[in-house]
Amino acid sequence: ASQINPDDKSVQVSIGFLWAVFVVVTTVVTTLFGGKKGITSFFEKKDHSKLPDVAKAVDVQHDFVSTKSGMKFEYVHAGEADKPLMLCMHGFPECWYSWRYLIEKFRDRYHIVAFHSRGYGNSDKPKEINKYHMNYLVNDVAEIIEALGYPRATLVAHDWGGAIAWEVPKYFPHLVDKVIIMNAPNTTAARYYRKGIGFSQFLKSWYICLYQMPYLPELLVQSKDFGLLGSAFNGKKMGIKNKSNKLTREEIDVYKHYIGNNISGPLNYYRA
């Protein structure tokens, strides 16, 4: 009999899809057998159209910037315009609010800007999946730096923002002072080493397969009033470990507010 090598990428991808289907099916089944309450809670969706007060209380200015390609991006900013630019790039499925502490820390020394990348918050949301390809995401950053009127910027980036930030200096070295990246691998190096990734890393990354499926990820991420956000920040497995740093319900609602319009754009990052 032939052996399955879990390090083989094609095997990993098919196992990933099978696992993803399994997760979707068990979620749906437990919901259905959870009776009426289970079903209503699965489809529960609250109104998140108002920005919660905790976010309004943060001392930042809200604005929009239009780029050369005709895209419009929502951002918040603090500090004086004649200071060097620090550009904060959020991850999935986040927003400027993730940068609130950093903004306080650096507002004296920088003009610190946190923008919503395409598909997020009130930034433009192209309909086509291929408009979320890395080439567009990298180009957006370059155009935002230019549109804000700066010769260059320091990039501070997390998760998906980090994946993008690794690429920016490759194509636009003259626009970048420094790059500070949290929780995202050097994409070139990752591609090179991916052949050798172990099964345990694969088990942590299977969701990437899930997110590439059509429709189902939207259904899952939106279920239980975007329950994923609560478990991502505060859950036992994925969430913040230090109890005193967990987010309040209102803080999580800030993320729901910005994601609430349409989760398809952010998910398209995984599909493009």
Ligand X SMILES: *[C@@H]1O[C@H](CO)[C@@H](O)[C@H](O)[C@H]1NC(C)=O
Residues at the interface with ligand X (CB under 6 A)? 125, 127, 186, 188-189, 242, 244-245, 262, 264-265, 268
Residue 126: CB minimum distance to ligand X, A:
7
Residue type, 49: S
Pick 230 or 265: Cβ nearer ligand X:
265
Residue 256: CB minimum distance to ligand X, A:
15
What does the alpha-carbon distance between residue 157 and residue 14 come to, in Å, rounded to a whole number?
A: 31
Pick 116 or 125: Cβ nearer ligand X:
125
Helix (H, G, I), strand (E, B) or coil at 195: helix
Pick 29 or 240: Cβ nearer ligand X:
240
Q: Which residues contact 178 (CB under 8 A, 6 or more apart)?
A: 154, 155
Residue type, 128: E
Pick 2 or 242: Cβ nearer ligand X:
242
Torsion of CA 180, 182, 184, 186, to 10 degrees: 30
Query: What's the token pair of residue 97?
Result: 């609010």
Residue 203: CB minimum distance to ligand X, A:
25
Q: Is residue 272 within 8 Å of residue 130, measured between CB atoms?
A: yes
Pick 132 or 255: Cβ nearer ligand X:
132
Residue 196: CB minimum distance to ligand X, A:
14
* b/e 99-126 (16+ beta carbons within 10 angstroms → b): bbebbeebbeebbbbbbbbbbbbebbbe
DSSP string, 44-96: ------SPPHHHHTS--EEEEEE-TTS-EEEEEEES-TTSPEEEEE--TT--G
Pick 183 or 262: Cβ nearer ligand X:
262
Residue 35: CB minimum distance to ligand X, A:
29
Q: Beta-carbon neighbour count of residue 207 at 10 Å?
A: 16
Residue 232: CB minimum distance to ligand X, A:
19
Pick 188 or 201: Cβ nearer ligand X:
188
Query: What's the token pair of residue 72?
Result: 């419009």
Residue 166: CB minimum distance to ligand X, A:
6
